[in-house]
Structure 1
């Protein structure tokens, strides 16, 4: 499609300059496809909080493949914690320390750093690649046809492209414009999440720690995870809790001092409360097979197992591959089939991730007598049977394994 006087010519428009949108743009550029990003926020946007801190090894490989040096940069800047530990009502039931937790490959199994760092390095990669980000450009309307897509932003600019990747987050305008809707559930309990700056004079041991029914915080579950420069403290509220009260400065400072140590009392840098959504869009593409949803525009998961940003980046890479093949084809049925294949694959992956995160959420929140009995028995057996303690350690993060990589996999 051509350009008009207020927009510019591009084979693909990506809406959203978060990790998913920036990955889509980098992946398209790496495949030789002209791409432009439209971002609603201003260039000096503030992105508070550590947010998605855990980057899977597969994600690092995807980023390195699409922007050589990016995966390595994130790995170098993040940390790999060697120890995982779990306690049951104050009693340690599992601990394991790995001599080489990152593995022996070129990239580690994972890295942990604030999402804003990840985004900054992605923006640098986009700049180096010459991919333009148009800031202050919130999308207002999306019109697709058999031939392509027309996008109008709130300031009246119009853009035309062959394809659109909608990566504009949970409140996605693109999703709404193509008539897709979220379907799913919300978590019963709220959670309070705090970022805590590390004490450089007396840093804690690098370990991921999970507390079942932490005895000094009135029996709430608590997760402690290190990332470069600090700690994530994740507290599961009881159904009777007022999460806003727990997030109050004095209360959260006391909770942090109790769980991390007194020296961290005044090191809280950010606090937020959530009820996690477990939802997926009822379709990931439009009727004309020209718009592809990715990341939080397509799905929202509870954070257990770090499936949010990592699955969004996988969406973005798959979308770029599908669009590239579609653009190279002169046959409409082939072009449509590539986009439909993307939707089938990523919808299936999203369903897997939703179920996996849901299993972890139900395990943590569920009041089933069977689940409660299993946890009590495993804690009692952990002194004599390591696998019982390992089960307690694993369960809060959902099942092992990865989403299906083809629509034919069962």
Structure 2
């Protein structure tokens, strides 16, 4: 990138998937940009994290940078089988002849987030967008004319627009006075990566498995999902659990052995525990309409339905679109309207996604007596009515619909 690096039309805070998508989307619209990232270039990116990339997200990435979406498809897996068990009994099993659908972009791909990020980094290098590593945003001051940013290394930056994609602890969000509102899950969850170098599209057991009250996990809910290089194992803690004790290496090896088999007992690669937050910022833009929030800086969602990164990438694309129009607007009123429209659309989308993920979370936490009875009745009826088993299979992921807005993506 040429010119003064501290004075570009748009700055992006954060070099995660959302921040990098924002930069790609701005470049695709002819807007010069740079990224400010707090961490070093060799930052730790352990853990598979956001493994499920929706087809609409893949199409967005392919539209922004030719080859990016299809590269992720080539790297990822499309598992053909959905299977659900209830207390040791199979209640649903369906295998699709063409699980990804037709065309170059499938309905989804299952790939570690670090792979997604690596391809994004390569795309940014291809088009010459600078990432300023170890450049943490420390203060933000907006005005009707632009944004003044200071970073922890003492540098000052002037820009017309700033996109805050700096994660759940976003400095940008705090600096513009926007606050998170919401709550967190009652139950803790343990998430682990299990290495399997032999896994590929031809693996004989390539399936997404959900097990209610799994005996192998002492009655806890278990989710097992394949991705390139291994398996994601999610275990839902129950009342009285100590997540730290259960996530110890010794205890997790026992879980892996009991759930997946002795051959995987020594394949544990990464483990973490979470209470999932369900929160969104009370405003996605500042009062001067010069700072826009995207991704986890704007909302944190429980992972059911894989709405987090996918909705963040939709935020990024729409933020870039609004900024590109605003920069070329001949009146301040039009520029403000474009940014306000971004906020209105993405806040509506976030509300929908929070509600959808919240429905799944409430269902999984299992406190409601009516929901408990429905699960038990569906499990009893599953042998006779496939729709009962399919309901048990679908419910942990929330509604399948998209936010009530017109969008090029689903989330």
TM-score normalised by the shorter chain: which range applies? over 0.9
Q: Which residue of 1 aligns with 2:157?
A: 159
Hey, what's the Cα distance between the residues in 2 that align with 1:304 and 1:201? 24
Q: Which residue of 1 aligns with 2:96?
A: 98
- From 17, 20, 23, give the equivalent of 1:19: 17
The 8 Å contact of residues 199 and 263 in structure 1, kept in 2 or not, is answered as: no
| Secondary structure of the corresponding residue to residue 272 of structure 2 | strand
Deviation, structure 1 residue 199: 5.4
Q: Within 5 A, what are the aligned runs for 1:122-271?
A: 122-198=120-196, 200=198, 205-271=205-271
Quickly say closer, same or farther: Cα 1:337–1:102, change in 2 above 3 A: same
Quickly say closer, same or farther: Cα 1:204–1:173, change in 2 above 3 A: farther
Hey, what's the Cα distance between the residues in 1 that align with 2:379 and 2:189? 24
| Secondary structure of the corresponding residue to residue 10 of structure 1 | strand
Q: Within 5 A, what are the aligned runs for 1:101-116?
A: 101-116=99-114
Listed as ranges, the gaps of 5+ residues in structure 1 are none
Deviation, structure 1 residue 201: 9.2
| Secondary structure of the corresponding residue to residue 357 of structure 1 | helix
Deviation, structure 1 residue 260: 1.2
- Normalised by the length of structure 1, the TM-score is 0.97
Q: Which residue of 1 aligns with 2:39?
A: 41
The 8 Å contact of residues 192 and 235 in structure 1, kept in 2 or not, is answered as: yes
Q: Which residue of 2 aligns with 1:59?
A: 57
Hey, what's the Cα distance between the residues in 2 that align with 1:290 and 1:94? 50
Q: Which residue of 2 aligns with 1:374?
A: 374
Q: Within 5 A, what are the aligned runs for 1:289-304?
A: 289-304=289-304
Hey, what's the Cα distance between the residues in 2 that align with 1:201 and 1:53? 15
Deviations 1:41-99 (A, max 9, x none): 00111111000000000000000000110000001100000000000000000010000
Listed as ranges, the gaps of 5+ residues in structure 2 are none
Hey, what's the Cα distance between the residues in 2 that align with 1:348 and 1:251? 42
- From 85, 88, 100, give the equivalent of 2:86: 88
The 8 Å contact of residues 199 and 264 in structure 1, kept in 2 or not, is answered as: no
Hey, what's the Cα distance between the residues in 2 that align with 1:310 and 1:199? 26
Hey, what's the Cα distance between the residues in 1 that align with 2:229 and 2:66? 25
The 8 Å contact of residues 188 and 239 in structure 1, kept in 2 or not, is answered as: no
The 8 Å contact of residues 295 and 308 in structure 2, kept in 1 or not, is answered as: yes
- Normalised by the length of structure 2, the TM-score is 0.96
| Secondary structure of the corresponding residue to residue 280 of structure 1 | strand
Hey, what's the Cα distance between the residues in 1 that align with 2:135 and 2:385? 57
Hey, what's the Cα distance between the residues in 1 that align with 2:361 and 2:281? 20
- 1:330 paired with 2:320, answer no
Deviations 1:294-345 (A, max 9, x none): 0000000000000000000000000000000101101000000000000000
| Secondary structure of the corresponding residue to residue 399 of structure 1 | coil
The 8 Å contact of residues 102 and 108 in structure 1, kept in 2 or not, is answered as: yes
Q: Count residues in correspondence.
A: 403
Hey, what's the Cα distance between the residues in 1 that align with 2:394 and 2:44? 34
| Secondary structure of the corresponding residue to residue 8 of structure 2 | coil
